[in-house]
Every structure is written in C-alpha cells, then in structure tokens.
Structure 1
C-alpha cells in the first residue's frame, strides 16, 4: 500500500473531499483522485461498509 494511502483512507472515512485531502496530504488534487480510484478498485465498492472492511483488513481500524 503506498505511503499516503492510510492518511487518505482516514480522510475518506471522515467524509473529506478530494480537495481537502490534497491540502491535508500535500498532494495535488489530481494525484488524490488517482489514488482514490485505485483505492476504490482495491475495495471493489464505493460504500462505507466496504471501506470499513478494507481498513480492518489493512489494520487501520
């Protein structure tokens, strides 16, 4: 998992926008959107329950 993913996952969990995530992480908004697409692909869904399951599997919750 890329270095910024845990931070992005927490931002997603809290409902932040891509723009907010970019400010928090120091990445560009386009990079954040690219990472989000990859995260959603790995999760297989855009739902919060799938996000929670993924975060538990990765040891983030």
Structure 2
C-alpha cells in the first residue's frame, strides 16, 4: 500500500484515505541557510516535499 501511495504522490496527485488523512505534494522554495558548525552561508535548492493533512476522524481519535 505504501508503494502505491508513494507512486501516486510522486506523480503529483494526492491520495485521500477516508478517516485518516490526505497525502499531497508541496513545493519548498529555494532559500539560504547557515551551517551551524562553520557559520558558512549555504544555498538550498527548491525541492518538492510531501504534505500530510490529518482527517477529522483521526484528529478526534488523537484528542480523546
């Protein structure tokens, strides 16, 4: 099941599991950061990321 969800989300579609939540792709913009060890400024490239939004039933189960 995880393999199927991974393939669908990697293709740019979202997967909704009723009562659990939704997996979708998101975009992370390019940004600059700092290496905490050396203090050197580094640049991070723009990347795709996976977003998960918990469904109402899942949230309710966690908050009981």
Q: Determine if the TM-score, normalized by the shorter chain, exceeds 0.5.
A: no
Q: Which has the higher strand share?
A: 2
Normalising by structure 1, report the TM-score: 0.29
Bigger Rg, structure 1 or 2: 2
